[in-house]
Structure 1
Amino acid sequence: MPIFGRIFDMKAIYARQSKDKKDSISIETQIDYCRREVYDEDYEVYQDKGFSGSNTNRPAFKRLLADIKKQRISQVVIYRLDRMSRSLLDFAKLMELFQKYDVKFLSTQEKFDTTTPMGNAMLSITMVFAQLERETLQCRIRDNYYARGKKGMYLGGKAPFGYDKVETSLDGKKTYKLIKNETDSQIVEAIFNWYVNQGLSISAIGRKLNELNQSHDQKLFYAGNLTRIIRNPIYVSANADIFHYYQSFGCQITNPIEDFQGQNGCFLYGKNKSTSEGRTRANMSEHTLSIGLHQGFIDPDTFLSAQSKINQSNSISRLGTGSKSWISGLIRCGICGYRMSVKTSVNRDKHTGEVKANYLYFCCNGVRYGAHKQPLPKHGIVVNAIENAVEHQLLKHAALKKDLIHQFVQTNTREQNQLKIDLEKINGEIHNVVEAIAQGNAVVQSYMNEKLETLDQQKKEIQKRLIEFESRDQSENHFSMADLIDQWKTYELPMKKKLAALFINEITIFHQEEGDSIQIKWNYDFSKPAISL
């Protein structure tokens, strides 16, 4: 929208000449042509000699723009359009500035005059072409960005936490390569270990790191930067499982599966979107994954376990982040259906005020929101009593199914990874053969049928070997109900919390005056024969 209320009503003549040449128009000649257009009105001359029109970094030109913004100028007159700028984008920006401050514009040679309908039409056409050039430039930048990503080049910015960047060259072009920072990478490894293997929440990990005086880019760790670390495939030693994981989300993968050898990390790049909850990743189909030149250092199985955990937002919400009870987050009120949280009651000495004991109670969140309509009983719901009741039921079920096994994540060997790569290639070949059979004649179909049988046999052999790998050393890599019974009393709260979430879906408490009762909804039907979870 134009800004009105001009202080002065003066015209400006602008002239520019980069070099003195025989065939070039001198600054004096340019000014003479412009004077014919301003007649007897007040004007001021702005001239730049020895400056190129490729950019707007010129002293007199910058002074002209400053005077326009001070509302001293009503019209700008030039000899020819290229005296103002040789860049269509710069010229378009100038026209936008002129329109904002209601400044007319006239070029004497092209008869480009914004005071006339034809001049305004020409201005509109110029702005359209300027927008086209902007979009073309953006496409070139984006295409170059994606081309760098496909080659595994570092895509710019600060090195991710856990890495340093060193200058290198690829295909004769300067770029950067990530190398492992021995100190920070140990923190990243600890984050994944605490999150996956020890069952700590993201908030608990942040508190632990901050207590240890660790920092992320000289800032405290919090849920946001920890989540970005856990989500980032730049750390994973990417193998065939990583390929399939991102492929399942529709991610565009630039490398063939053969490149996923369990050594290099990945770059994931694409559009981000803003929501009311902050910046988040958009649909994965709008992202591209490329193998980087750097070494990953997080085991792929650990990485995938972390993704599974962080993706299960409902389960994480239900599990809760409380550090006072191993069943916090699983408890629901049987009266109003709201979740229940742990509150602390302090018992102090009446005379000295000294704390004698702390008691933990479950409190219904529905009371706070007015959803709990029934009067509350006089007695509270003691956390220790509910935990004991749940523990009794859990161990009772465990005793009935001592042979029930939970299989922990196994480490992929290189041979396993290669088998998965071979299996993917064979599936692709089978698909191509089936297509050829559908389109070919009888002779081709006969040949392709033989080929299909061979591929199917190879596929079965690979699947058989993968099953052998999965069953190998199972006794050293499992957790049984018998272990739970024998070791339950020795487990710390995070481990108990992890096991509770594994076996229990929900615990409902019916808090009534005549007494409390609980109802447990299990994740596993204990009446069925024992199977691996």
Structure 2
Amino acid sequence: MRFFIYSRKSVWSARGDSVENQVEMCRRYIAEKFGEGEHQIAVYEDEGFSAKDTDRPQFQFMLRDLYEQRPDYLICYRLDRISRSVSDFSALVEELARQGTALVCMREEFDTAKPMGKAMMYIASVFAQLERETIAERVRDNMLLLARSGRWLGGTTPTGYRSVQVRELVLEGRVKTACKLQPVEEELQWVRQLYAVYIQEHSLSAAHRALEMLGAHNRRGIPFTRMGVKAMLQNPVYCAADAEAHSYFTARGAAVCFDPQKAPDRGLLVYNKRGTGGRRQEVEQWVVAAGRHPGLICGGQWVRVQKILREEQPTIDRPGKQHNDYAMLSGLMFCTRCGQKLLAKKRSGPQREGQYDYICSSKLTAGTRHCDSQNLAGPATDQAVWQHLCGYLCARPEQLQTALRQLRREYIRQLPQSPAQLQREIQRAQTEIQNLVAALSAGNAPAIAGHIARQIEQLDRQVLCWQRQLEGQGQRTETAPVKREAARLLRRRRWLEDLDRRQRRQLMRAVVQRMDWDGEKLYIYYRGETGQENGGGGS
């Protein structure tokens, strides 16, 4: 028999429900219930992802493999490992039914191959989503309570401030310790100059150069990168808690917990800025409060900077600059002397057409006083590494097949849904809406009725999104070329030398984890293995 095992864990803990333990328990379940035969078992693991939606890498891979392989059973440890959303769960169950695959949740002992198991799964999924929404509300209430105190909750302190502990006297003589941000004047001068230059020049490059001239650096003594500069310009901690800031965040749906009349000189603190796995949340999820530190930039200027940053972002009508298409190893090499990436830089002059070097980014932005690592000649390094990679893959055909399968999945992931798929999804959602409307009219309790109404609203928005996507299908012309490209890449697994530069870059990133350059030798670290040395790329 053919089985799929799915495991998920949003946050690591020392409890026994890690993704590895979930998989092992599912394997034991298969052995006990279906015997010790030669079963085909495929495992999909998502670690660091919530069940609030199905936007999880391995979950999406599993859905695509369902169409191709049609397993007999999908096994999971618990129902909430799959989803806490009723609409997502019901869609999955219906799709599994169409494919002839039964879903088994071993902890609850639910089996959709049986009518009662299927009904109980639907009921349990309603309460799983209700639990998720209740937890989210409770966390947000705690955030709002913390926001009123203006405390710094820890983490990496922003440039311009240090974290200090303060002791406060509370009721009945008790002493409470909290943290607040304390200004570091030298660093605040860097930030002031940064905002002034950016407002005048509207250029991240100009602001970056201004910090270099001041000798500004991060806490590790390394000059700021362009991304670090942009992060400082976007950080609300420098913004004063005045009327302009209040209006800005209120208009964007954030929970604003300060009175601009009472704290116009204090800086802002943002709670709930990061979600599961450290991912940045949307502004409407933020809780914005007045901190205990002085603000640096008035709200009007800070809001103006955000507007300029938005205007400079790439759009469909005004695309941003593309990454270089000539250097095969861009983004993979690191300097062991300072820890920074090596960047590709073209050589100037008409006699040097097509020539480029890999240079340590710290050396490139701040000179040899920060890093004196030797440069690498680009074309020679690319060729030496590619020859080494070809020999490595020819000796390990299974590694090549794994990399090609990964590339194929990436190509498929980028394909738009077909009109037929969109029509099926729209029809399924409309049927579910009709069922929910019938349940709503049945006179349920207020709490359940509110839950059903939210589901209807969510499905209605999704249907509208699919309909718009369906209307725009005529404008998409890339599906066939992408499919042909994927097939061509798979056919050429024995002719690596015939791949073009773009295909080589894609294959390189699927096989190589990173490379370290120590100024004399280049060390290649393949995914899942120890480092391999390649000394042929030095200039």
TM-score bracket for this pair, using the shorter chain length: 0.3 to 0.5
Give TM-score scaled by structure 2 length: 0.35
Give TM-score scaled by structure 1 length: 0.35
Larger Rg over CA atoms: 1
Q: Which has the larger strand fraction? A: 1
